[in-house]
């Protein structure tokens, strides 16, 4: 599955072209119009309302009960169209079935019996269903450079979400991780728009499949449209200043492609751009999304974001005014989610003529269409038989494959890795024995921070190493710990804290081993609680690292972290550095497999790892930022570069060719390159194709990723890969915000080889 069985190759463009097409769904126009005609204004406004599950239950934890009075108020009286989220933590499949049954039974009692669409954050698997298969987070999936794996993971996510009775997931995240200070960095596919668009299409096609009505699939929700990930301060939900050409160059393509792939819903940026909050941006929500991209699903707001127009952004004096602004800008459904204000205000606004009835009809049509397409009118609940195919060993294997393929070997001095299985090792560091670090947020609870909820039979790094080489060979001393206050469900909670535990004991233990495996990084965090004031790795961890390094023992650094924390004080003295990102529950096993050579690593870094807190520059920076000219500032000196990733074998690139010296009009350029496994082990290589526009009207980036392929090669085997570039791959968004391919000289670079060509 991971690599095409016959050819040993996954080619990004081939995958993209096969998957970007939207499937043909039945045309429900007649049914929608028939229903719409019979609906009252109240019922229509109800369909546009989404409430949190807390509005229909009593009690917060697992023992909550659906409150029949509250349920009736929401579903029967207000005709609420959608419910979202978990009460507190992931529910068992049986509990979900009860909840969904109760909600849909209430919906059946309404005059028209319109089913409710339940929505949930299935971010890395059905992470709010107990026992579900969790997958590596998106940042890890990006590092695999293998969209087939992403698609398969999303298919399983869809199956396990729908098996619980939930037909709608608030994923994928298609924001770009171009600033590692942003606390949702790990929810992205990294910094490159092309990688994000290929992976995003994979995620959407995996979730929605060819027939979203099938019990195997769910509707996706692309988020957070758009520019959410790039606030000036790096802090969540703070102002961004992004010119439209930059928005279109970097932040639009992943959404554009996912819309082309048929995505049924989209969620809006909770922040603001250029002083305009995402939720009132008519230009982005309607002009670009509807008219330009042709999106025909529905738009859902993010959490409480209409209220925040008053309380946070202060662009409306009253909530009623805010409601009008958001709906007129293009919001079809409001994630209110904790009261009935939206429905009440909207109803009044339509009655006063401040919001036209036609705008309501438009929104409701879109919502009903998705409900029909999901088959909710025929089957609003679930197929109980799916329970038996839930969280199968095969699904778990896909998660393990993904974790293995994501791990990225960033340094391997003197080929210290792989380690011998009879080596005596010290395992130390705060992420060595933590499933929390491995999973990060959106894991059983919002912040991922409840140790007790993690499966007991999944190995941490420490346990996996013990299982592989025997406990007698392993000493474990934590050294430091990362912790947070137990109640983590409100935005006001502090982020992770760190403290020393027993650094002297770790140092003592290091004396008696051959090698130290030092696992550093982060705990778990999500959204605003993940804001930090310093990207530098926590002081206790740096102290532990320096103390261990001072023993003179060889140290292998394993990083388990959702964003690159600055490690320049210690990195150069490490013998090896293995980036594990957030590989989820199979990650411990995968890390041990790589450290001891059972798996040959093949991940590549999907972002630029900064060396200094101020060195936040992406790989596609301007050329002068690396040049030592009078005004060149030599600013670009990352700790590790985008696309870095070593293997236990070596790959040799040769014979880079372009089929034409000059291309014109819409002619394609065919590029070929030969990649050979020149080492002694079988291995996979992600081949990255960069194109540079040498001179352009807007100062060009030094290079852009335009294609990639993942290829599997036996020792001594070689393979000639071909890539086709089209005119759009040579274009950029010009000063008038439109794509332009300018005549002139270009280069293509693969594996250190470069060829030139001319666009006429």
DSSP 61-125: STT-EE-HHHHIIIIIIS---EEES-SSSPBPHHHHHHHHHHHHHHHHTSSS-PPPEEEE--SSB
By the 8 A CB rule, do 195 and 606 touch? yes
Which residue in the block uniquely carries the two structure tokens 């059972």?
A: 598
Q: Which residue, 442 or 757, is less far from ligand BGC as judged by CB?
A: 442
Q: Minimum distance between the CB of residue 237 and ligand BGC, rounded to whole angstroms?
A: 8
Q: Minimum distance between the CB of residue 527 and ligand BGC, rounded to whole angstroms?
A: 6
Q: Minimum distance between the CB of residue 223 and ligand BGC, rounded to whole angstroms?
A: 6
**Cβ neighbours of 357 (radius 10 Å):** 12
Q: CA–CA separation, 215 vs 387, rounded Å? A: 12
Q: CA–CA separation, 208 vs 197, rounded Å? A: 16
CA 111 from centre of chain: 40
Which residue in the block uniquely carries the two structure tokens 């060719």?
A: 657
Q: Which residue, 265 or 618, is less far from ligand BGC as judged by CB?
A: 265
Which residue in the block uniquely carries the two structure tokens 């929401």?
A: 74
Q: Which residue, 166 or 599, is less far from ligand BGC as judged by CB?
A: 166
By the 8 A CB rule, do 7 and 335 touch? no
Q: Which residue, 51 or 482, is less far from ligand BGC as judged by CB?
A: 51
Assess whether the previous peptide bond of 363 is cis (omega < 30° from 0): no
Q: Which residue, 303 or 609, is less far from ligand BGC as judged by CB?
A: 303
Q: CA–CA separation, 448 vs 439, rounded Å? A: 7
In 285-328, DSSP assigns E strands to 298-300
By the 8 A CB rule, do 157 and 169 touch? yes
In this structure, the chain runs to a length of 760
Q: Which residue, 83 or 212, is less far from ligand BGC as judged by CB?
A: 83
Q: Which residue, 85 or 541, is less far from ligand BGC as judged by CB?
A: 85
Q: Which residue, 270 or 584, is less far from ligand BGC as judged by CB?
A: 270
Q: Minimum distance between the CB of residue 319 and ligand BGC, rounded to whole angstroms?
A: 19
Q: Give the pair of three-digit tokens for residue 41.
A: 């204004």
Q: Minimum distance between the CB of residue 88 and ligand BGC, rounded to whole angstroms?
A: 13
Q: CA–CA separation, 602 vs 556, rounded Å? A: 18
> Could you give the 3-state DSSP secondary structure of residue 345?
helix
> Could you give the 3-state DSSP secondary structure of residue 394?
helix
Q: CA–CA separation, 488 vs 452, rounded Å? A: 14
> Could you give the 3-state DSSP secondary structure of residue 306?
helix
Whether 344 is a known active-site residue: answer no
> Could you give the 3-state DSSP secondary structure of residue 493?
coil
Which residues are CB-neighbours of 72 under 8 A, at least 6 positions away?
106
Burial class (CB in 10 A: 0-12, 13-18, 19+), 630: exposed
Q: Minimum distance between the CB of residue 164 and ligand BGC, rounded to whole angstroms?
A: 16
Choosing from 13, 192, 302, 729, the catalytic residue is: 302
Q: Minimum distance between the CB of residue 453 and ligand BGC, rounded to whole angstroms?
A: 17
Q: Minimum distance between the CB of residue 442 and ligand BGC, rounded to whole angstroms?
A: 9
Q: Which residue, 85 or 137, is less far from ligand BGC as judged by CB?
A: 85
Q: Minimum distance between the CB of residue 87 and ligand BGC, rounded to whole angstroms?
A: 12
Q: Which residue, 173 or 725, is less far from ligand BGC as judged by CB?
A: 173
Which residue in the block uniquely carries the two structure tokens 């999944």?
A: 458
- Cα separations (Å) of 755 from 468, 578, 758? 46, 32, 11
Q: Minimum distance between the CB of residue 233 and ligand BGC, rounded to whole angstroms?
A: 17
Q: CA–CA separation, 29 vs 388, rounded Å? A: 36
Residue ranges in contact with ligand BGC by CB under 6 A: 85, 121, 170, 223, 270, 302-303, 527
Which residues are CB-neighbours of 369 under 8 A, at least 6 positions away?
28, 32, 296, 297, 298
Enzyme catalytic residues: 302
């Amino acid at each position: 599955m991971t690599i095409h069985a016959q050819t040993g190759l996954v080619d990004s463009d081939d995958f993209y072209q096969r998957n970007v097409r939207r499937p043909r769904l039945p045309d429900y126009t007649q049914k929608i119009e028939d229903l719409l005609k019979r609906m009252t204004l109240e019922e229509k406004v109800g369909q546009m309302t989404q409430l949190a599950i807390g509005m229909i239950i009593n009690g917060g934890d697992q023992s909550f009960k659906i409150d029949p009075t509250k349920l009736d108020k929401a579903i029967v009286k207000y005709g609420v169209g959608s419910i979202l989220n978990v009460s507190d933590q992931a529910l068992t499949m049986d509990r979900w079935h009860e909840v969904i049954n109760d909600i849909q039974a209430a919906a059946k009692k309404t005059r028209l019996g319109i089913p409710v669409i339940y929505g949930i954050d299935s971010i890395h698997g059905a992470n709010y269903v107990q026992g579900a298969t969790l997958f590596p987070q998106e940042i890890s999936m990006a590092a695999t450079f293998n969209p087939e794996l992403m698609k398969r993971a999303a298919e399983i996510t869809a199956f396990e979400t729908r098996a619980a009775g939930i037909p709608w997931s608030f994923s994928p995240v298609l924001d770009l991780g171009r600033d590692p200070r942003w606390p949702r960095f790990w929810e992205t596919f990294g910094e490159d728009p092309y990688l994000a668009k290929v992976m995003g299409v994979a995620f959407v096609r995996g979730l929605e499949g060819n027939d979203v009505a099938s019990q195997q699939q769910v509707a996706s929700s692309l988020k957070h449209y758009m520019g959410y990930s790039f606030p000036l301060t790096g802090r969540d939900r703070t102002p961004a200043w992004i010119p439209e050409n930059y928005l279109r160059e970097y932040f639009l393509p992943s959404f554009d492609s996912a819309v082309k792939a048929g995505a049924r819903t989209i969620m809006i940026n909770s922040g603001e751009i250029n002083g305009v909050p995402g939720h009132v941006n008519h230009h982005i929500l309607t002009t670009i999304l509807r008219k330009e991209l042709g999106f025909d699903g529905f738009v859902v707001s993010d959490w409480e974001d209409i209220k925040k127009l008053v309380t946070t952004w202060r662009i409306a004096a009253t909530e009623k005014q805010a409601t009008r602004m958001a709906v007129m800008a293009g919001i079809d459904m409001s994630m209110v989610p904790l009261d009935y204000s939206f429905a009440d205000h909207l109803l009044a606004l339509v009655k006063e003529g401040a919001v036209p009835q036609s705008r309501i009809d438009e929104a409701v049509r879109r919502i009903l269409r998705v409900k029909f397409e999901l088959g909710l009118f025929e089957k609003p609940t679930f197929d109980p038989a799916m329970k038996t195919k839930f969280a199968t060993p095969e699904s778990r294997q896909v998660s393990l494959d993904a974790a293995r393929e994501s791990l990225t070997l960033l340094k391997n001095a003197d080929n210290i890795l792989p380690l011998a299985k009879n080596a005596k090792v010290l395992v130390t560091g705060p992420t060595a024995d933590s499933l929390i670090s491995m999973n990060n947020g959106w894991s059983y609870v919002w912040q991922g921070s409840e140790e007790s909820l993690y499966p007991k039979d999944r190995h941490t790094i420490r346990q996996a190493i013990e299982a592989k080489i025997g406990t007698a060979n392993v000493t474990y001393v934590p050294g430091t710990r990362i912790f947070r206050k137990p109640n983590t469900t409100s935005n006001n909670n502090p982020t992770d804290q760190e403290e020393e535990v027993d650094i002297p004991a770790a140092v003592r233990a290091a004396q008696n081993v051959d090698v130290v495996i030092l696992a550093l990084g982060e705990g778990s965090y999500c959204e605003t609680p993940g804001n930090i004031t310093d990207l530098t790795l926590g002081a206790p961890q740096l102290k532990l690292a320096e103390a261990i390094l001072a023993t003179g023992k060889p140290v292998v650094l394993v990083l388990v972290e959702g964003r690159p924390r600055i490690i320049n004080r210690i990195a150069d003295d490490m013998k090896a550095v293995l980036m594990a990102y957030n590989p989820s529950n199979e990650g411990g096993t995968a890390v041990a497999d790589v450290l001891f050579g059972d798996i040959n690593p093949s991940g590549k870094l999907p972002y630029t790892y900064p060396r200094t807190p101020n060195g936040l520059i992406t790989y596609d920076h301007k050329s002068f930022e690396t040049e030592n000219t009078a005004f060149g500032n030599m600013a670009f000196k990352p700790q590790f570069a985008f696309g870095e990733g070593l293997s236990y074998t070596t790959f040799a690139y040769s014979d880079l060719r372009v089929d034409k010296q000059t291309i014109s009009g819409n002619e394609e350029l065919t590029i070929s390159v030969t990649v050979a496994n020149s080492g002694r082990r079988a291995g996979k290589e992600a081949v990255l194709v960069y194109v540079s526009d040498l001179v352009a009207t807007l100062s060009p980036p030094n290079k852009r990723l335009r294609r990639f392929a993942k290829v599997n090669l036996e020792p001594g085997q070689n393979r000639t890969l071909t890539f086709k570039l089209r005119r759009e791959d040579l274009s950029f968004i010009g000063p008038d915000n439109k794509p332009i391919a300018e005549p002139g000289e270009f280069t293509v670079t693969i594996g250190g080889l470069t060829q030139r060509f001319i666009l006429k």
